[in-house]
Amino acid sequence: MRLTLTTLCALAALPAAGAPVLETPVDCTVGDTCYIQNYVDHNSGDGYLDFTCGPLSYNGHKGTDFALPTRRAMEIGVDVLASADGVVKGTRDGMKDQILTAENAAYVEGRDCGNGVVIDHGQGWETQYCHLKQGSVQVAQGDKITVGTVLGEIGLSGRTQFPHLHISVRQGGRVVDPFFPDRGSDRCGEARDTMWADPLAYEAGGLIRAGFETGIPDYGDVKSGAAGKTEIASNAEALVVFAFGYGSQPGDTLDITITGPSGEVLSQQVTLDKVQAQYFRATGKRTPPRGWPKGDYRGDITLMRDGMPLDQTTVALTVK
């Protein structure tokens, strides 16, 4: 559950005549079933800053990343939608869905976008949709499309480490940040316009998912969605809660509590010590000799920043 919306972009004048008004390009609920992992980099030097002067970007990033919480969500299927009317300028399909590694880097070289679609909106305006799922592209070059047309599905193709849609906006070949379209690339943190028809809230970090396990889960299982149980045996090896989050800042804390039918099992605060695009932490207790009392358990996780709650989630478990 999202507790705070740090910045809400104000709908205002568009940056230039003919600029498209953009609808959300993914068929998911931003801040709930998907989230924004990265924004356009507003620092032309070696560092990086998002449009609020925050850290949700990386050096040279040229778009907005709408991410899914797990690979399982990607496999079920989440549609990528045209943000505005236009004509399809080009497509690519057929690339594998895979996390970029040193072993497959040559396969991706020169095709960083992976499977994708480029749409021409007129007067030099384009949107590009990257990392679509293999075999999902549903449009072809020359097709006239309208806002909301299904272009494909969110995937893991190209140069990426997690399932997401990367959408880039360009005007005359120049990258435009739809959250901050009227400013120079090195400016951020000021009053700003937006190209979004429905303003999208800026979240300065948050929790992607959480769950119960019987031991410290493998990070790959956390990201794929394989980790996370709703039932365990009373004599399981341990009772563990994990939290998977994004956009950490040094000094952030995770307040984690486990409550069972006999009361509080565990209460612990975990401090995050560095900036990380994604992270996971887990804590718990070994099973007592007589086993865990049977019944319902709850895990409460609150992400705190500067003494204020940034995000919170609750997970449930039944011990049998």
pLDDT at 305: 96
Fold topology of 9-203: Glucose Permease (Domain IIA) (2.70.70)
* Range(s) of the chain covered by CATH 2.60.40.2550: 206-319
Find the largest Cα–Cα distance for the chain.
Answer: 72
Predicted pLDDT of residue 5:
32
Residue range 126-182, pLDDT digits in tens? 999 999 999 999 999 999 999 999 999 999 999 999 999 999 999 999 999 999 987
Provide the pLDDT for residue 189: 76
**Cα-flanking dihedrals φ and ψ of residue 169, to 5°?**
-115, 130
Alpha carbon separation from 78 to 89, 158, 163 (Å, rounded): 23, 18, 10
| pLDDT on residue 7 | 33
Task: Output the pLDDT for position 8.
Answer: 33
User: Helix (H, G, I), strand (E, B), or coil: what is residue 90?
Assistant: strand
Cα separation of 144 and 153, whole Å? 19
pLDDT number for residue 15: 52
Contact between residue 195 and residue 21 where contact means Cβ atoms under 8 Å apart: yes
- Tell me what pLDDT residue 11 has: 34
Please tell me the predicted confidence (pLDDT) of residue 16.
Answer: 58
With 0-12 / 13-18 / 19 or more C-beta atoms within 10 angstroms meaning exposed / middle / buried, residue 89 is middle
**Closest by alpha carbon to 3, among 267, 300, 294, 211?**
300
Q: Cα angle vertex 45, ends 42, 51, to 5°?
A: 10
State the 10-residue block means of pLDDT for the chain, 320 residues long: 36 58 97 95 88 92 96 97 98 95 90 97 96 98 97 97 96 93 73 87 94 96 96 96 96 97 94 94 96 97 96 97
Residues belonging to the chain: 320
Q: Which helix (H) or strand (E) holds 300?
A: strand 295-305
Residues 241/229, Cβ–Cβ less than 8 Å: no
Residue with tokens 């972009």: 9
Q: Is 300 exposed, middle or buried (0-12, 13-18, 19+ CB in 10 A)?
A: middle
Tell the burial category of 174 from Cβ atoms under 10 Å away from its Cβ (0-12, 13-18, 19+).
Answer: exposed
Question: Can you list the pairs that 132-136 forms with residues at least 24 positions away whose Cβ atoms lie under 8 Å?
Answer: 132/80, 132/93, 132/157, 132/165, 133/74, 133/77, 133/97, 133/157, 134/93, 134/94, 134/95, 134/96, 134/97, 135/93, 135/94, 136/77, 136/93
Query: What pLDDT sits at residue 122?
Result: 95
**Among 234, 80, 105, 121, which Cα is nearest to 158's?**
105
* SS3 category, 126: strand
Residues 69 and 208: beta-carbon distance below 8 Å: yes
**Range(s) of the chain covered by CATH 2.70.70.10:** 9-203
- Please tell me the predicted confidence (pLDDT) of residue 9: 36
> Any alpha helices (H) in the chain, and if so which ranges?
71-76, 105-108, 219-224
pLDDT of residue 12: 36
Matching CATH number, 206-319, of 1.10.8.60, 2.60.40.2550, 3.40.50.300, 3.40.50.740: 2.60.40.2550
